[in-house]
């Protein structure tokens, strides 16, 4: 293609090298923006793939029932607790006459009766000898506590039916005849909820990143457009101009993408130590793979290149207007109508409160795009209002700049605006812990009413032999199994000394086959863990969003000074003090940020309401609200800090003021 021939590449390279100190700074800012986008996008993708890998590591614990003619083993799953941490216990037994039983994942062979194989983090189980250590194939994460216990075919552990508990999804599985240990994915367990949470967090982070990447391609737009418009007036064909723009954006974006990839690789060991779902990660689970890596890099480069080429339309069509710096057309009211239409469509899809997570992800993406569409229009309207009502020079200058170039002003505050939307979404979600079923020092087992007295006596005998002082009682709660059947009662042991809780657990193991004594606070341990991780995910998303906002603000502030150096220089030569120019810059940044973040926060409330109020009125978490407020304070501080950081550049530009050929 002639547009991308050797001449085009040579001219582009010479323009990049000959851009001077300011031109090199603008190129560096573009590279930094592309690097940040690439690194964070790869980490977001890694989190999604990592949760899928974790789920795959636990599939074998959800057995698939086999026909009697094909079954070779029996498998059951329960959850015990040690030091307050869950321990997954998988009981297995080979069936006589069923053929050779295959080895469970992470084991070289099928365990013999009485053998116990444990994960590295568990070590031993109830003081029993360990026959071997489970490999990573049997685990979801490095610190997971899992034990595989071998039994005889007729042992109570693999023949007694185990009750189900809706509060303990997937951690109780009744004895099941199996042909192998492939298992299947739990359709509605907490592993699925983690994957859904990762998808929502990804879209809340990815959309600001995409906008940052697109905006980075438009850095120092005035300088580049002026040079390209001059070449166009000198006779360069539109295809040549388009090719030069594409090559420049491609080179800077590719350099940033490579730097971001190196940052992602350097961050992998640190990211693997982030405790989610009860512990750290395997580094291999967070490696996205070469195809996904190439796709993300290509996406970043193509987004930056497309944005630069689309922004070139004015140069190709009307280069004389660029050279004369003619005023761009006003923003259309259609932008506001598009925004309203997207919100109406969102409400129609989600008002039932039962929308699938996959649909919600796409809807959030649509709202993000709608905010990006309406943002410049709001800035333009705000500029017109400020320009008409200004009584001082900084306000007048800021209003005129907002009115003349609303897209540039929007790029400076878009990151903070989208972060405010994410904050508004999270603000209505309550991540407070659910009330416990029973005291944290009371162990419980569920038994048929006719056996309650005998089990009470067994409790007393075992605890006495173990030297544990406890109060034994019986009630009609259903903490242990959750069956809720009327012919069941709950036998409890309230331990006098909390330090002896684990000793009491060990003493009571085996009183009821297939059950492990647990406290009320441990009943919904998965839910409480998920709520804790959801809170951490909220903070991570907000932290990343406001970091992106600060990066975007800093890059855009420096770029704006470079783009307007001729205007600033002429204003200074006309007698405008530097402090007035700086005050106008602050107003031009802070005013749209204040208005747009407020609007985005309300939009976030609007989008979260159908998802949170469907199940009743949510409880507002005052701690989360306080943290959200702190994030906003830090976000605005970062925005103003970015403006202050570019003040030396403004001073340098003004010091070099004077009419220039470019």
Annotate 109-142 with DSSP letters as a single string.
SPPPTT-EEE-TTT--BTTBPP-EE--GGG-SST
Average pLDDT for 395-417 = 83
Q: Bigger pLDDT: 233 or 649?
A: 649
Please give the pLDDT value at position 657: 62
- Nearest of 488, 486, 428 to residue 620 by alpha carbon: 428
37-52, pLDDT tens digit by residue?
A: 899 889 989 998 998 8
Three-state SS annotation for 280-334: CCCHHHHCCCHHHHHHHHHHHHHHHHHHHHHCCHHHHHCHHHHHHCCCCCCCCCH
What is the number of residues in the chain?
662
- Nearest of 360, 341, 437 to residue 614 by alpha carbon: 360
Please give the Cα distance from 646 to 639 (Å, whole number).
Answer: 11
- First CA to last CA distance, the chain: 30
Could you tell me how far CA 652 lies from the centroid of its own chain?
40
Both tokens of 264, joined, read: 């992602």
Please give the pLDDT value at position 136: 92
Cβ atoms within 10 Å of 235's Cβ, excluding its own: 7
Phi, psi values for residue 132, rounded to 5°: -175, 175
Please give the Cα distance from 165 to 500 (Å, whole number).
Answer: 27
Which domains occur in the chain, in start order?
1-62+196-326 (no CATH), 63-178 (no CATH), 330-337+361-434+525-662 (no CATH), 442-523 (3.30.70.260)
Average pLDDT for 304-312 = 73
Res. 603: pLDDT tops 70: yes
Q: 406 and 383 in contact (C-beta within 8 Å)? A: yes
Indicate the pLDDT class of residue 144, thresholds 50, 70 and 90: very high
Average pLDDT for 206-227 = 64
Question: In 395-431, which positions are buried (b, 16+ CB within 10 angstroms) versus exposed (e)?
Answer: bbbbbbbbbbbbbbbbbbbbbbbbbbbbbbbbbbbeb
Please give the Cα distance from 145 to 89 (Å, whole number).
Answer: 9
Q: 178 and 74 in contact (C-beta within 8 Å)? A: yes
Q: 85 and 277 in contact (C-beta within 8 Å)? A: no
The structure's pTM equals 0.78
Average of per-residue pLDDT values in the chain: 80
Cβ atoms within 10 Å of 273's Cβ, excluding its own: 11
Count the helices and strands in the chain (H runs, E runs).
19, 9
């Amino acid at each position: 293609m002639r547009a991308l021939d050797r001449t085009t590449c040579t001219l582009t390279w010479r323009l990049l090298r000959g851009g001077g100190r300011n031109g090199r700074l603008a190129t560096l800012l573009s590279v930094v923006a592309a690097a940040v986008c690439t690194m964070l996008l790869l980490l977001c993708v890694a989190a999604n793939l990592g949760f899928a890998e974790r789920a795959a590591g636990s599939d074998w614990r959800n057995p698939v029932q086999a026909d009697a003619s094909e079954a070779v083993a029996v498998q059951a799953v329960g959850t015990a607790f040690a030091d307050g941490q869950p321990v997954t216990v998988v009981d297995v037994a080979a069936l006589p006459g069923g053929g050779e039983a295959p080895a469970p994942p992470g084991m070289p062979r099928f365990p013999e009766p009485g053998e116990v194989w444990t994960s590295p983090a568990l070590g031993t189980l109830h003081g029993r000898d360990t026959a071997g250590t489970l490999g990573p194939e049997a685990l979801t994460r490095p610190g997971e506590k899992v034990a595989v216990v071998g039994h005889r075919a007729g042992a109570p552990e693999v023949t007694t039916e185990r009750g189900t508990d809706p509060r303990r999804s997937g951690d109780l599985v009744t004895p099941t005849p199996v042909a192998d240990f492939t298992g299947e994915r739990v359709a509605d367990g907490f592993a699925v909820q983690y994957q859904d949470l990762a998808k929502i967090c990804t879209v809340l982070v990815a959309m600001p990143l995409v906008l940052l990447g697109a905006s980075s391609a438009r850095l120092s737009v005035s300088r580049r457009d002026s040079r390209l418009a001059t070449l166009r007036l000198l006779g360069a064909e539109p295809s040549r101009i388009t090719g030069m723009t594409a090559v420049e954006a491609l080179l800077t974006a590719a350099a940033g993408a490579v730097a971001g990839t190196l940052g992602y690789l350097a961050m992998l060991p640190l990211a693997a130590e982030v405790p989610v779902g009860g512990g750290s990660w395997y580094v291999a689970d967070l490696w996205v793979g070469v195809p996904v890596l190439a796709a993300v890099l290509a996406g970043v480069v193509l987004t930056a290149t497309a944005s630069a080429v689309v922004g070139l339309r004015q140069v190709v069509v009307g280069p004389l207007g660029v050279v004369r710096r003619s005023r761009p057309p006003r923003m259309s009211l259609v932008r506001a109508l598009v925004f309203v239409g997207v919100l109406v469509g969102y409400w129609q899809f989600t008002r039932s409160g039962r929308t699938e997570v996959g649909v919600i992800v796409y809807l959030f993406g649509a709202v993000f795009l709608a905010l990006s569409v309406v943002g410049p229009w709001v800035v333009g309207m705000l500029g017109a209002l400020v320009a008409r009502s200004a009584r001082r020079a900084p306000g007048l200058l800021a209003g005129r700049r907002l009115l003349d170039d609303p897209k540039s002003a929007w790029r400076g505050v878009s990151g903070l605006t989208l972060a405010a939307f994410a904050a508004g979404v999270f603000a209505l979600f309550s991540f407070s812990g659910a009330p416990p079923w029973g005291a944290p020092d009371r162990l419980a087992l569920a038994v048929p009413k006719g056996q309650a007295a005998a089990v009470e006596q067994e409790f007393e005998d075992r605890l006495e032999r173990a030297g544990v002082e406890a109060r034994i009682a019986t009630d009609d709660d259903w903490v242990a199994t959750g069956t809720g059947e009327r012919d069941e009662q709950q036998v409890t042991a309230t331990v006098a000394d909390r330090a002896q809780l684990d000793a009491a657990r060990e003493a009571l193991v085996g009183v009821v086959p297939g059950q492990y004594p647990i406290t009320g606070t441990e009943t919904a341990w998965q839910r409480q863990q998920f709520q804790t991780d959801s809170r951490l995910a909220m903070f991570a998303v907000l932290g990343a969003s406001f970091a992106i906002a600060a990066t975007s603000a800093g890059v855009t502030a420096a770029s704006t000074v470079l783009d307007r150096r001729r205007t600033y220089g002429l204003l200074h030569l006309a007698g405008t003090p530097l402090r007035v120019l700086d005050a106008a810059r602050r107003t031009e940044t802070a005013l749209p940020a204040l208005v747009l973040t407020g609007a985005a926060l309300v939009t976030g409330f609007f989008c979260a309401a159908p998802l949170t109020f469907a199940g009743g009125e949510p409880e507002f978490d005052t701690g989360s609200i306080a943290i959200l407020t702190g994030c906003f304070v830090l976000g605005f501080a970062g925005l103003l800090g970015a403006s202050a950081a570019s003040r030396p550049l403004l001073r340098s530009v003004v010091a070099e003021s004077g009419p220039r050929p470019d």
